[in-house]
């Protein structure tokens, strides 16, 4: 079982450069204290455009705890919080239920994250959707259930898929619209929001 810590933060416009430097340092802290992968980006769509997004991947909750302890002691965290210009809006922990794709040699540039609610995980339907996306532009992706945070109500899930371009996103979702099995997921899952994240290095 693996887990993903998802953090969204609001950045003041005049703190953008300092925030980018801080995010780079935070990535090093996460990576040095249990996270086996760290992705960071900026929201391009939705109500919180220009907020930062961080996706930190862990093998177990013990590693999550170790990373949280390291973050609590890190000077850069204190510095950014005290600036008043870098504010964490929300943080949740997901339990990974399904992953697809291998990434290959194609470089991901965007992530599309979709929040949805359902009575059950709908793994069969999600796999059908993922197969269509993967065959039509998506590089890789994950699907998980919120187990901690504001959305940990037992019914909220997050589906994320990486893409090399906006055109690839369009191609993938055009294909979903034409596939009855893939689009059938929307009969059992209520999509709350779908947002594009531009990854930063």
What pLDDT digit, counting tens, does each position of 83-137 carry? Answer: 999 999 999 999 999 999 976 557 999 999 999 999 999 999 999 999 999 999 9
Residues of the domain holding 28 = 3-92
pTM of the full structure: 0.93
Q: Which residues fall within 8 angstroms of residue 156, CB to CB, at 6 or more apart?
A: 115, 116, 117, 145, 146, 192
Cβ proximity of 172 and 137 under 8 Å: yes
When divided into structural domains, the chain yields a total of: 2
Q: Are residues 119 and 72 in the same domain?
A: no
Helix (H, G, I), strand (E, B) or coil at 175: helix
Looking at the structure, do residues 111 and 86 belong to the same domain, yes or no? Answer: no
Which pLDDT score is estimated for 105?
57
Distance CA 7, CA 40 (A): 9
Q: Which residues contact 131 (CB under 8 A, 6 or more apart)?
A: 100, 182
> For 32-66, what is each residue's pLDDT tens digit?
999 999 999 999 999 899 999 999 999 999 999 99
Task: Collapse the DSSP code of 102 into the 3-class scheme (helix H, G, I; strand E, B; otherwise coil) and give the result.
Answer: coil
Indicate the average pLDDT of the chain: 95
What's the CA gap between 137 and 49, in Å, rounded? 24
Q: Is the domain of 85 the same as that of 115? A: no
- At residue 194, the pLDDT reads 96
Handedness of CA 100, 176, 55, 40 (dihedral sign): positive
What's the CATH number where 48 sits? 3.30.70.100
Q: Annotate 61-84 with DSSP letters as a single string.
A: HHHHHHHHHHHHH-HHHHHHHHHT
């Amino acid at each position: 079982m693996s887990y993903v810590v998802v953090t969204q933060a609001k950045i003041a416009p005049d703190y953008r450069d300092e925030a980018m430097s801080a995010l780079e340092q935070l990535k090093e802290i996460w990576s040095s204290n249990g996270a086996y992968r760290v992705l960071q980006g900026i929201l391009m769509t939705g109500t919180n455009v220009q907020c930062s997004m961080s996706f930190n991947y862990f093998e177990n909750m013990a590693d999550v705890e170790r990373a949280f302890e390291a973050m609590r002691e890190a000077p850069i965290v204190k510095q950014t919080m005290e600036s008043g210009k870098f504010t964490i809006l929300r943080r949740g922990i997901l339990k990974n239920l399904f992953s697809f794709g291998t990434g290959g040699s194609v470089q991901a540039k965007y992530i599309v994250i979709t929040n949805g609610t359902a009575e059950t995980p709908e793994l069969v339907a999600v796999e059908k959707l993922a197969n269509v996306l993967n065959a039509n532009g998506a590089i890789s992706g994950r699907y998980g259930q919120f187990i901690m945070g504001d959305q940990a109500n037992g019914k909220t899930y997050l589906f994320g898929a990486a893409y090399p371009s906006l055109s690839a996103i369009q191609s993938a979702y055009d294909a979903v619209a034409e596939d009855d099995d893939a689009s059938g997921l929307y009969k059992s899952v209520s999509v709350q929001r779908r947002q594009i994240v531009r990854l930063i290095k």
